[in-house]
Structure 1
Amino acid sequence: MSRARRTLSATVTLALACTTLTGCFDESSPHDAVRDFLVGWQSEDYDLAAGRTDGERAAVRKALANAKLELDAASFRFKIKSVSIDGDESRADFSAEVDLGENNPLWVFDSVLPLHLVDGRWKVRWSPSVLHPQLKEGQRFAVDTKPTRRQPVVDRNGASLQRPQFLYVAGVIPSQLGDKDEEVVRRLSAITGFAQDRLLSRIRSSPPSKFVELATFGRTRYLAMKPKLDTISEITTQRQEQLFAPDAPMEIVGKVSALTPETEQKLGGPQRAGDSVGQSGLQQAYQDYLTGSTRTRVITLDLRTGKESALLQEWPGRENLSVKTTIDRAIQAAAESAVDQAEVSALVAVDRSNGEIRAVAAKGLDEEDDGLAGKYPAGTTFSIVASDALIKAGVKPTQRLACPAERTVGGARFAEAGQVGGPSPTFQENFAKGCVTALASLARRVDAAALAKSAKAFGIGQSWQLPLQSFSGSLPKLDSDADKAKAISGQTVQVSPLSMALVAAAVASGTWRPPVLVTEPSSPDPTAEIVPEPPPQPVALDPKVRTALTAMMRAGAVGTPAQTGSGRVYGVAAPAGDEGSRQAWFVGWQGDVAIAVLARNHDPAAVAGDFFATLHDPS
């Protein structure tokens, strides 16, 4: 919640408090003095509060105002617990609730207001202990903070997926400002855009000898502002090296920026100067884990020496944690190299045995929006899924199927640009070459429910949980033979490269499994009270069907650029859409790595071949 919203909430509560206090107390008792003092303090009507004490009015007003600044408090709220009278003396026990902002817990403490009669009127007996029982003459409040540095996003082996980047932190040492703090803040605010009151509160609430971070800049912004910052002699700029620049896969890892006035206003109270803000990808999704929270201590300081006198309260802050991904650097590097050969392409690689995402690479596309969450026609790569239902329905890989140039099924027209395997190719040969007319002709051999069941078994349309956007695919309603034919040929089925890589992994391992991108922590939200829905359960393929599909996908890769070196490649290539589509797929696997490649105006099998060659011969 933002600081502005917290203050509004406090104001509403104050109105209720005023009504309660005013209605319950009689004017002839000490209650009216207690009421006016606490209401004045809470509402920042310090003159009202000071008038109900026996202290010098201006001094009390200043002490109350300074307490708010010294604590950098968003609000004060009070609750009276009891009021007792003993002759000319009285005592009011109350609890105080101080909102220190910056995402810290509320500071709650019990205190006492001593009162006595002065010329027939009840007055609060003024001393610093009225503000807090442990505050003494010659002392002031201070808030000592220690932010923790942002933790990295790491690969499956714990190595950081960020590179070093320098930040520039402008700040001051309060004791060196003298009476110039307001002037320094005014000038710094004019340069940076940060609110003057927030900057001043940070200075006045901090221990005087501690460097107070006020504004943080990336290199470009710092160089633009440096000439103006240099004119404020009291400002010191420290250069800090942090792991901020994303390494591959950059769009999955995400960008990080220093806190700016715009992000501070947007994100609200938890941020301080020196903080970093995730702008995209996992950096944004796991912002609260990566940044953690600031350790905060409320203390009293000796005004003469500036040293700490007493610790009043301490919050250790939430521990910040690294985010451990399933990305494999070697596989990611091979994917980056492979997609670079095409102007527009995306490649997603997963581990066949567990669904863990090993690499996401894209050129001319976005790793998250296209690689994980893209919605593209499946083309005849969907025949991998459809074949599960067809083989179960009795269609054998050796069955002869003509591959004519044109065919009509249920009124829907299908066209095939090439000829497959002579006049009577087998189902396997038509599958391997992606003959649309032959595959569409099988629509009458399988019912709609069986196709839908196979699609679900291969994860199409399943609701899986990833911290970033993703798309598992969609299958339309199949109300006719034409609908089934269009689905079998992939014309009406939408998929993402991620969902198709998982299809390949299912055939390779014998079990479909949901994708995994982050293994630690278990949820992006450290404060979540609702346990997220469990991911879909793994689905085992029929062993006989898997054996047939493995042979069919081996045939699909033979003779294509995907087959390089001595290792066997299994897969199928197809246009992504109708006959005029400029986009095409390769879906398959080699060894433990299953992939899906989407490319435009380029052979995706060539991208796959480059990927496998680099992966198995990184030199």
Structure 2
Amino acid sequence: MREAQEPDDFAGYTEIDDGHGRFEDVGYRGVEFADEADEEVAPRRSGARRAVLVAAGGVFAALLAVGGYGLYNIVDAVQGGNTSSSDGGGAQGPDSAAKGPQEPPTADQAAAVAKDFLAAWGRGDVTAASALTDKPETARAALAVFRENVPTRSLALTPTGPVPAGTASGPAVGFRVKAEFENTTGAWEYDSALSVVRSQDGKAVVHWAPTVLHPHLATGGAIAVKQLPDPVSKPVDRNGKPLDGFPSLTAVLAKIGPADGATVVNGRAVVLSGTGREPEQLFVLTPPSAPQVKLTLDAGLQQVAEEAVKQQAAGGKPASLVAVQPSTGNILAMAYSPSGHNRAVSGGQPPGSTMKVITSAALLEAGVSPDTVVPCKETTFSPRPWHNDEPGNFPSYTLADDFSHSCNTGFIDKGLEKLQPGTLTKVARDQFGLGLEWHIGIDSRDATVPVPANNDDAASEYIGQGRIQVNSLAMASVAATVQSGTFRQPVLREDAKRATAPGKLPADVARDLRSMMSKTATQGTARAPMSGLSGQIGAKTGTVEAGGSQATNSWFIAYRGDLAVAAEVEGGGHGNSAAGVAAAQVLKAGG
């Protein structure tokens, strides 16, 4: 007859006849051996044992045939443990399985294993260190990569005691990392922590996690020594002040590099990267080095220039302004609007009556004096007809009067009478530097004053129209040359190679020009914007016909002491309005 069976905890079992018509179930619970002291059940179990051993032997043989993997697991199951040697279970074997629930490691055990782990890591024995973790393969790979990517001269890892970062599985131990590198001063130091847990065989081991290497690896990524990007030294103003934040300088500063021959050092740093964020510099081994470039600009004056241009450019009118120091040629401020094309130094357009400064210099050298009578007719011809902004005939006007009232006809008549074709071009080039190749430290456009093809061309150039092309930079230099009596090519950086004018403005001509510009600032067309300014002042307005029904372009050049300014506002109207207001703001701030 068949014996009653006990409920089986596992699915599946095998029934074996013991030769007496009785069957024994051989499941996992059925693998049990006879207790020889139990006489009542011994005879039955003796037969069962033989049957079980026969059956089990067949199973073992089959499992051994497939490499022993099944044997390993069935023995483990019989022993009541889990001896998986996968990476998540540590380097455990069949003999090291834990029996039942485990208590977390004690503080002393955690301290001991942490000390051994850190010592092995510090001396570079990644095999020994990883063997002390619950994930030896992962730890071995991570420690090896860290050692390769962060090549230290020495690595000291010092336990600092228990930290409140442990879990129910085990306590945590803090430690201090001190890494030193070849050819560097100082050391990379940081604090981290590790947790200690029980392995499956009951030993205290380090719970491996990327944060063991560095706490910032909690969010992923990798740590390695990398070369830093090419160093870029942000230029500063002449006083060492930063120039960030000025709209007109954003594109300019990006183009400023170290002087030719300057030593540039690419730095190296320990960098955390690959986290989806910007790379993080954890420790700089070699700081990047690029000589700092000190520009000629003045941050305070630049701020005033930016605001002045912004005000006059309201409504979308293009505008620009440049301030130059006459005694040095240094550019102190440079502003333009709208952003994009730097019209302050790269633009090109006729300067209107501000060109009469150079025409006057040519006439003075040709024998005309400020007191020479040069009638201001209402209309003159070249044979093209020419008019003035100021209506009427003024037959008693002198050259100085024509200059201060900006009389077009007087300059056209006297220019056609006294000057040869090409004279204006020569004076502009030889004494004012217009037409030379300038190198200011960034890209700029050189002025052009063409030789006229006929009297109409000559007449238009004498009053700053026609084919003449200049910008605020060029005309600020004209004002600076009058103030100092010497052309000094403007520069944005003092190591720029300056052009030298072939000639020199005669001292008496410079003196007469200053006198006429002073009269214009105090009694002539520039008196409104220049009012209230004291000291050595001089100015000249310019109004350029834009053609058709478009508003005229406003030009203004002036100086006050050792500061010269030129401003232009396209569509700004008369020279003493938009451009004059902007220039005067800068002159007032720089006084």
The corresponding residue for 1:138 is: none
Flag the 1:566–1:502 CA change in 2: closer, same or farther, 3 A: closer
The corresponding residue for 2:438 is: 464
Q: Give distance in 2, aligned partners of 1:567 and 1:404.
A: 33
Map residues 263-282 of structure 1 onto 2, 5 A cutoff.
Answer: 280-282=251-253
Q: Comparing 461-470 with 542-551, which one deviates more in the overlay?
A: 461-470
Does the 8 Å contact 1:414/1:437 carry over to 2?
A: yes
Q: CA deviation at 1:613?
A: 2.8
Is 1:388 matched with 2:361?
A: yes
CA shift digits 1:281-317 (9 cap, x unpaired): 231342899994533599xxxxxxxxxxxxxxxx979
Does the 8 Å contact 1:377/1:577 carry over to 2?
A: no
Flag the 1:330–1:534 CA change in 2: closer, same or farther, 3 A: closer
Q: Give distance in 1, aligned partners of 2:393 and 2:514.
A: 20
Is 1:329 matched with 2:299?
A: yes
Q: CA deviation at 1:429?
A: 1.1
Does the 8 Å contact 1:332/1:360 carry over to 2?
A: yes
Unaligned residue ranges in structure 1 (runs of 5+): 1-65, 72-141, 163-246, 255-279, 299-314, 524-532
Map residues 100-179 of structure 1 onto 2, 5 A cutoff.
Answer: 144-145=226-227, 150-162=232-244
The corresponding residue for 2:542 is: 574
The corresponding residue for 1:541 is: 505
One-letter amino acid of the counterpart of residue 572, structure 2:
N
Flag the 1:436–1:421 CA change in 2: closer, same or farther, 3 A: same
Which of the residues 309, 318, 329 maps onto 1:355? 329
Q: CA deviation at 1:332?
A: 1.6
Q: Give distance in 2, aligned partners of 1:573 and 1:605.
A: 7
Does the 8 Å contact 1:402/1:425 carry over to 2?
A: yes
Q: Give distance in 2, aligned partners of 1:355 and 1:297.
A: 42
Map residues 406-445 of structure 1 onto 2, 5 A cutoff.
Answer: 406-409=379-382, 411-419=383-391, 422-442=394-414, 443-445=416-418
One-letter amino acid of the counterpart of residue 570, structure 1:
G
CA shift digits 1:318-361 (9 cap, x unpaired): 73122210011222233233323312332110001111000012
Q: Give distance in 2, aligned partners of 1:335 and 1:145.
A: 40
Map residues 46-85 of structure 1 onto 2, 5 A cutoff.
Answer: none
CA shift digits 1:427-456 (9 cap, x unpaired): 111111221111111222111243222110
Does the 8 Å contact 1:597/1:607 carry over to 2?
A: yes
Q: Give distance in 2, aligned partners of 1:394 and 1:508.
A: 21
Is 1:370 matched with 2:343?
A: yes
One-letter amino acid of the counterpart of residue 248, structure 2:
E
Is 1:286 matched with 2:257?
A: yes
Q: Give distance in 2, aligned partners of 1:288 and 1:317.
A: 20
Does the 8 Å contact 2:433/2:501 carry over to 1?
A: no
Q: CA deviation at 1:251?
A: 2.9
One-letter amino acid of the counterpart of residue 558, structure 1:
T
Q: CA deviation at 1:150?
A: 4.0
Q: Give distance in 1, aligned partners of 2:480 and 2:401.
A: 22
Does the 8 Å contact 2:361/2:427 carry over to 1?
A: yes
Does the 8 Å contact 2:563/2:590 carry over to 1?
A: no
Unaligned residue ranges in structure 2 (runs of 5+): 1-143, 150-223, 271-284
Q: CA deviation at 1:479?
A: 3.4
Flag the 1:144–1:348 CA change in 2: closer, same or farther, 3 A: closer
Q: CA deviation at 1:497?
A: 0.3
Which of the residues 399, 411, 426 maps onto 1:453? 426
The corresponding residue for 2:528 is: 561
Which of the residues 238, 246, 251 maps onto 2:248? 251
Instruction: Give the TM-score taking structure 2 as reference length.
Output: 0.53
One-letter amino acid of the counterpart of residue 511, structure 1:
T
Q: Comparing 593-602 with 476-485, which one deviates more in the overlay?
A: 476-485
Flag the 1:420–1:333 CA change in 2: closer, same or farther, 3 A: farther
Q: CA deviation at 1:539?
A: 4.9
The corresponding residue for 2:560 is: 590
Q: Give distance in 1, aligned partners of 2:226 and 2:585.
A: 56
Is 1:605 matched with 2:580?
A: yes
Does the 8 Å contact 1:376/1:495 carry over to 2?
A: yes
Secondary structure of the corresponding residue to residue 491 of structure 2: coil
Q: CA deviation at 1:402?
A: 2.4
Q: Give distance in 1, aligned partners of 2:366 and 2:337.
A: 40
One-letter amino acid of the counterpart of residue 575, structure 1:
T
Q: Give distance in 1, aligned partners of 2:533 and 2:287.
A: 55
Secondary structure of the corresponding residue to residue 380 of structure 2: strand
Q: Give distance in 2, aligned partners of 1:379 and 1:431.
A: 13
The corresponding residue for 1:496 is: 471
Secondary structure of the corresponding residue to residue 400 of structure 1: coil
Secondary structure of the corresponding residue to residue 255 of structure 2: helix
Q: CA deviation at 1:614?
A: 3.5
Q: CA deviation at 1:467?
A: 2.8
RMSD, matched Cα: 3.5
Flag the 1:406–1:565 CA change in 2: closer, same or farther, 3 A: same
Flag the 1:447–1:554 CA change in 2: closer, same or farther, 3 A: same
Secondary structure of the corresponding residue to residue 377 of structure 1: coil
One-letter amino acid of the counterpart of residue 433, structure 1:
H
The corresponding residue for 1:122 is: none
Q: Give distance in 2, aligned partners of 1:468 and 1:557.
A: 33
Flag the 1:296–1:436 CA change in 2: closer, same or farther, 3 A: same
Flag the 1:562–1:538 CA change in 2: closer, same or farther, 3 A: farther
Q: Give distance in 1, aligned partners of 2:339 and 2:403.
A: 28
Does the 8 Å contact 2:228/2:288 carry over to 1?
A: no
Q: Comparing 488-497 with 340-349, which one deviates more in the overlay?
A: 340-349
Please identify the structure whose Cα radius of gyration is greater. Answer: 2
Does the 8 Å contact 1:415/1:436 carry over to 2?
A: yes
Secondary structure of the corresponding residue to residue 332 of structure 1: helix
Which of the residues 263, 267, 286 maps onto 1:295? 267
Q: Give distance in 2, aligned partners of 1:466 and 1:147.
A: 27
Flag the 1:405–1:504 CA change in 2: closer, same or farther, 3 A: same
Is 1:482 matched with 2:456?
A: yes
Does the 8 Å contact 1:145/1:295 carry over to 2?
A: yes
The corresponding residue for 1:10 is: none
Map residues 25-44 of structure 1 onto 2, 5 A cutoff.
Answer: none
Q: Give distance in 2, aligned partners of 1:316 and 1:481.
A: 67
Secondary structure of the corresponding residue to residue 322 of structure 2: strand
Q: CA deviation at 1:553?
A: 0.6
Flag the 1:423–1:582 CA change in 2: closer, same or farther, 3 A: same
The corresponding residue for 2:106 is: none
Is 1:505 matched with 2:472?
A: no
Does the 8 Å contact 1:511/1:539 carry over to 2?
A: no
Q: Give distance in 1, aligned partners of 2:583 and 2:498.
A: 33
One-letter amino acid of the counterpart of residue 426, structure 1:
T
Is 1:403 matched with 2:376?
A: yes
CA shift digits 1:173-228 (9 cap, x unpaired): xxxxxxxxxxxxxxxxxxxxxxxxxxxxxxxxxxxxxxxxxxxxxxxxxxxxxxxx
CA shift digits 1:54-76 (9 cap, x unpaired): xxxxxxxxxxxx99xx89xxxxx
One-letter amino acid of the counterpart of residue 587, structure 2:
F
**Percent of aligned pairs with the same amino acid:** 28
Does the 8 Å contact 1:347/1:596 carry over to 2?
A: yes
Does the 8 Å contact 1:513/1:538 carry over to 2?
A: no
Q: Give distance in 2, aligned partners of 1:335 and 1:446.
A: 37
The corresponding residue for 1:16 is: none
Flag the 1:285–1:159 CA change in 2: closer, same or farther, 3 A: closer
